[in-house]
């Protein structure tokens, strides 16, 4: 059975765990990798079956957060291109921003 994390509970947890349900729909399957912003997780929508790479942005001050959200919207609005990984959507949850991007498969 999946453990669910939403709202403030999510912000208090340092890491997502395999089997957690995020935002009532997205099941954490595993860690894909790690970078400058932290870990990237593979999640699957329980509703549609779609899979996404999810990053978390935390600890942004008000102005930084507004600028970051504007950049995310710009990323979403970019046309499809073979050298860009599309950002499909993002969600603000408490102090965090969850970024849902297409999965980029290596060659």
pLDDT by 10s per residue, the chain, length 107 = 454 454 444 444 468 999 999 999 999 999 999 888 789 999 999 999 999 999 999 889 999 999 999 999 999 999 999 989 999 999 998 889 999 999 987 65
The Cα 59–Cα 65 span in angstroms is 9
DSSP at 106? -
Q: What pTM was computed for the model?
A: 0.83
| Strands, E assignment, 1-107 | 3-5, 20-22, 26-35, 38-45, 51-57, 87-93, 96-101
CA atoms within 13 A on the CB side of 73: 7
């Amino acid at each position: 059975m999946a453990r669910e994390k939403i709202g403030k509970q999510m912000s208090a947890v340092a890491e997502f765990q395999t089997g957690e349900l995020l935002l009532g729909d997205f099941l954490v399957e595993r860690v894909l990798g790690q970078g400058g912003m932290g870990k990237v997780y593979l999640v699957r929508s329980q509703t549609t079956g779609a899979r996404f790479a999810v990053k978390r942005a935390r600890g942004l001050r008000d102005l930084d957060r507004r600028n970051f959200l504007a950049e995310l919207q710009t990323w979403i609005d970019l046309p499809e291109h073979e050298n860009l990984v599309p950002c499909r959507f993002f969600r603000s949850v408490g102090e965090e921003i969850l970024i849902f991007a297409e999965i980029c498969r290596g060659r």
